[in-house]
Chain A
Amino acid sequence: MATIKLSESKIKTIKDICKSFDNKSGEVINVLHQVQGAFGYLPAEVQEVVAMELNMPVAQVYGIVSFYSFFTMQPKGEHPISICLGTACYVRGAEKVLDEFKRQLNINVGETTKDGKFSLNCLRCVGACGLAPVVMVGDKVYGRLTPDNVKDIIAEYNN
């Protein structure tokens, strides 16, 4: 196993979370939810600690992290931008909005800008179809967007 490069305090956080679920391997998904909540993402060395604590193979933990789209091994930007590509948003032009974000931020879906400020992701239906097309920046929802709004949204977070 690769040497673990995490700081002691981070390892302790992971251990505490595992302990709160009685170190049961069946709770691995709940554990990963909380660990990702604490660190923002799940890099390989974090998965190794989780695997060790829950007494299960790292491959199995990795299998779960890579299976579920909610888990990410990449750190997200300071302001994660999520574009809804649910059907309702799609038929109301969400793809054009996405293209405009890609163009203006100069990144692709799943990437983070070099300054770490923005990351771009797609999601399927936030349940705000009445406002389609919808974009979320962090927890804030922007509705009824056109490509023309993109510049203003980015500017809002660039100050």
Chain B
Amino acid sequence: MAKYKMHVLVCGGTGCKASQSAQIVDNLKAVLAEKGMQDEVQVITTGCFGFCEKGPIVKMMPDNTFYTQVTPEDARTIVEEHIIKGRKVTNLLYTDPENNEHVSDSKHMGFYKKQIRIALRNCGFIDPENIDESISRGGYEALGKCLTEMKPEDVIQEIKLSGLRGRGGGGFPTGLKWEIASKNHADQKYVVCNADEGDPGAFMDRSIMEGDPHSIIEAMAICGYAIGATKGLVYIRAEYPLAIDRLQIAIRQAREYGLLGQDIMGSGFDFDIELRYGAGAFVCGEETALIHSMEGKRGEPTFKPPFPAVSGYLGKPTNVNNVETFANIPVIITKGADWFNKIGTEKSKGTKVFALAGQINNVGLIEVPMGITLREVIYEIGGGIKDGKEFKAVQTGGPSGGCLTKKHLDTPIDYDNLIAAGSMMGSGGMVVMDETSCMVSIAKFYLEFTCEESCGKCTPCRIGNKRLCEMLTKISKGNGTMEDLYELRNLAAVIKDTALCGLGQTSPNPVLSTLDNFWDEYVEHVVDKKCRAGVCKSLMSYEIDQNKCVGCTACARNCPVGAIKGEKKMPHTIDLAVCIKCGACIERCKFGAISIK
């Protein structure tokens, strides 16, 4: 990297790519070439910076200037002003919403201040398609340390001491998992990376694989060394073409450098990695189902025990860890377990990556120490609720998790506290909702997802969730009774107790947590036939205020079903029998005369 005096880092994450970041790169390169500066300034496409809300992001190195919401047209200004004249382009800088001042270094932004980046350490700093950049930031140092200075049992001991727990959702201690796999002797063992990120609203694993694929390869090799496996498999969603591409490039480069393959670093240790593609089945995130899918079967879970550590892929001992778990491993080895276990809470060590989304000002990918409160995440990092609305709930843990409310805002986030609050860590989706979200509809949304994704093997999940979903539909249509609410709770408890796999057992959580935290809202739907958020169409009726309506006919002209009648310049009326409650009239009315009752 020596010959360049300046680097321009452009985010190539999915969100920024969708906002033309590739075009920004092309334009920057073209303008630099035009000025004859292509050998002085290097343009690098990096992984996700995390601050997706303000994307596309362009970062200037070495002065750390952080430009937000850059357009392809801005490329010329950046080159001519910043690079040539050394002046910051103020209109592209982030503006602090508190004091309206420009902030040029990301360190001083509310979004980044409280974050600690371990798993995401290289995302946004390196070109993920260049192994040298990874190595220059310490990549493969941990693997070298393991192979030359540590025995396999030392590696396992270090991971155990670190207190690292599985980041895919369950929170099983990683070191213990490795130890069990290491103690089962077999002619062949496997290391599997679970990259089948299926929670709707979660994209942390994808960002790690796209932004820092070498950290996964290195960690898998370390795991292989620790448990005595020579083969690694990454089970990755076919829906992530960019991540697949980058992993393939990274594996090829690692092989060329002798960091994968035979006799790695002259230590006598062999290890290689292959990719296996998922085909869109949520249940394949469950480790036994994932293994069956890798074997070319339907991805149905089986009863545990036997655990994969005893009998996994092709009947051999197999260790399955999630992407984010692996991303933590190299840092623990180089910096030591004592450094790692000082971060976090008593039983949950280190950091967690969350995908912050929904009705929040700063949507993006964040990595925070365990023990941070929801309030800090939502208001300090997330910048509060969009459009100044009221915070209502935050959903964590995806379809297996639950909704937390205002009363949980000051609860420190860790595995055990979230479970105690009726939700779970899950893989790290965090969807914030304001008063316009109806909790019955949210529960129904997740149940529809579960019904669609249930593999169908066990009855409680296949039929039980279907019944739950039908009851929720009945309630949202205004036909529910109080008995239905009690029956919801009963059936949910039965599914929790009797379903075969982890997904089935947690599938009623969205229903139970909303029943617990938003009981009044359910009762309103059932008794008063009202949906306070105005989401359940059957419970709404539209009305035109006869005093406010001036008879402009805008609503009548835009009603798709002709439900609005009235003479010009005379107050109009809605025929509720015809109205389909689409809301087109409200959007068109300039006089605020139409309201939902």
A68-B281, A126-B14, A130-B363 as given contacts; A63 in contact with B296, CB under 8 Å: no
* Residues B239 and A70 in contact, CB atoms below 8 Å apart: yes
A50 → chain B closest CB, angstroms: 12
- With a CB–CB cut-off of 8 A, which chain A residues contact B359? 91-92
The reply to whether the CB of B311 lies closer than 8 angstroms to some CB of chain A is no
Residues B446-485 near A (CB distance < 8 A): 449, 455
CA distance A3 to B303 in the complex (A): 40
The reply to whether the CB of B516 lies closer than 8 angstroms to some CB of chain A is no
* Residues B299 and A88 in contact, CB atoms below 8 Å apart: no
* Residues A125 and B299 in contact, CB atoms below 8 Å apart: no
A43 → chain B closest CB, angstroms: 17
- With a CB–CB cut-off of 8 A, which chain B residues contact A129? 15, 52, 201, 203, 355, 357, 363
A92-B358, A127-B14 as given contacts; A132 in contact with B395, CB under 8 Å: no
* Residues B19 and A143 in contact, CB atoms below 8 Å apart: yes
Residues A26-79 near B (CB distance < 8 A): 26-30, 32-33, 63-64, 67-71
A68-B280, A90-B445, A127-B15 as given contacts; A27 in contact with B296, CB under 8 Å: yes
- With a CB–CB cut-off of 8 A, which chain A residues contact B363? 88, 129-130, 132
CA distance A130 to B595 in the complex (A): 31
A97 → chain B closest CB, angstroms: 13
Which stretch (B409-417, B429-437, B523-531) binds chain A? B429-437
The reply to whether the CB of B364 lies closer than 8 angstroms to some CB of chain A is yes
* Residues A91 and B199 in contact, CB atoms below 8 Å apart: no
* Residues A127 and B358 in contact, CB atoms below 8 Å apart: no
* Residues B18 and A131 in contact, CB atoms below 8 Å apart: yes
A33-B238, A67-B298, A130-B363 as given contacts; A87 in contact with B358, CB under 8 Å: yes
CA distance A33 to B278 in the complex (A): 9
The reply to whether the CB of A81 lies closer than 8 angstroms to some CB of chain B is no
* Shortest Cβ distance from A86 into B: residue: B200
CA distance A64 to B139 in the complex (A): 39
The reply to whether the CB of A4 lies closer than 8 angstroms to some CB of chain B is no
- With a CB–CB cut-off of 8 A, which chain A residues contact B281? 67-69
* Residues B203 and A127 in contact, CB atoms below 8 Å apart: yes
The reply to whether the CB of A124 lies closer than 8 angstroms to some CB of chain B is yes
Residue from B52, B200, B279, B442 within 8 A of A130 (CB atoms): B52
CA distance A30 to B203 in the complex (A): 24
A71 → chain B closest CB, angstroms: 6
- With a CB–CB cut-off of 8 A, which chain A residues contact B202? 125
* Residues B277 and A67 in contact, CB atoms below 8 Å apart: no
The reply to whether the CB of B55 lies closer than 8 angstroms to some CB of chain A is yes
The reply to whether the CB of A134 lies closer than 8 angstroms to some CB of chain B is yes
Residue from B207, B240, B431 within 8 A of A87 (CB atoms): B431
The reply to whether the CB of B322 lies closer than 8 angstroms to some CB of chain A is no
The reply to whether the CB of A85 lies closer than 8 angstroms to some CB of chain B is yes
The reply to whether the CB of B246 lies closer than 8 angstroms to some CB of chain A is no
CA distance A25 to B442 in the complex (A): 41
The reply to whether the CB of B572 lies closer than 8 angstroms to some CB of chain A is no
The reply to whether the CB of B398 lies closer than 8 angstroms to some CB of chain A is yes
Most buried by B among A63, A88, A90: A88
- With a CB–CB cut-off of 8 A, which chain A residues contact B53? 130
Most buried by B among A32, A130, A134: A130
* Residues B238 and A28 in contact, CB atoms below 8 Å apart: no
B26 → chain A closest CB, angstroms: 17
- With a CB–CB cut-off of 8 A, which chain A residues contact B72? none
- With a CB–CB cut-off of 8 A, which chain A residues contact B55? 130
* Residues B199 and A125 in contact, CB atoms below 8 Å apart: yes
Most buried by A among B358, B364, B445, B455: B358
The reply to whether the CB of A6 lies closer than 8 angstroms to some CB of chain B is no
* Residues B280 and A70 in contact, CB atoms below 8 Å apart: yes
* Residues B277 and A132 in contact, CB atoms below 8 Å apart: no
- With a CB–CB cut-off of 8 A, which chain A residues contact B19? 131, 143
* Residues B18 and A87 in contact, CB atoms below 8 Å apart: no
The reply to whether the CB of A153 lies closer than 8 angstroms to some CB of chain B is no
* Residues A25 and B238 in contact, CB atoms below 8 Å apart: no
CA distance A128 to B240 in the complex (A): 12
- With a CB–CB cut-off of 8 A, which chain B residues contact A27? 296
The reply to whether the CB of B293 lies closer than 8 angstroms to some CB of chain A is yes
The reply to whether the CB of B295 lies closer than 8 angstroms to some CB of chain A is yes
A30-B277, A33-B238, A131-B19 as given contacts; A91 in contact with B207, CB under 8 Å: no
* Residues B198 and A124 in contact, CB atoms below 8 Å apart: yes
* Shortest Cβ distance from B201 into A: residue: A87
- With a CB–CB cut-off of 8 A, which chain A residues contact B364? 130
* Residues A67 and B295 in contact, CB atoms below 8 Å apart: no
* Residues A69 and B296 in contact, CB atoms below 8 Å apart: no
* Residues A64 and B358 in contact, CB atoms below 8 Å apart: no
Chain A residues at the B interface, C-beta cutoff of 8 Å: 24-30, 32-33, 63-64, 67-71, 85-88, 90-92, 99, 103, 123-132, 134, 141-143
A-B residue pairs in contact (CB < 8 Å), sample of 14: A26-B296, A29-B277, A29-B293, A29-B296, A30-B276, A71-B279, A124-B198, A128-B14, A128-B18, A129-B357, A130-B15, A131-B15, A131-B52, A134-B18
Chain B residues at the A interface, C-beta cutoff of 8 Å: 14-15, 17-19, 52-53, 55, 198-203, 206-207, 238-240, 276-282, 293, 295-299, 355, 357-359, 363-364, 395, 398, 429, 431, 433, 437, 442, 445, 449, 455, 560, 582
Q: Could you list 14 further interchain pairs (A-B, Cβ under 8 angstroms) beyond the known A87-B445, A88-B357, A125-B199?
A: A27-B296, A29-B277, A67-B455, A87-B201, A88-B200, A88-B431, A90-B200, A91-B431, A91-B442, A127-B15, A130-B53, A131-B18, A132-B358, A143-B18
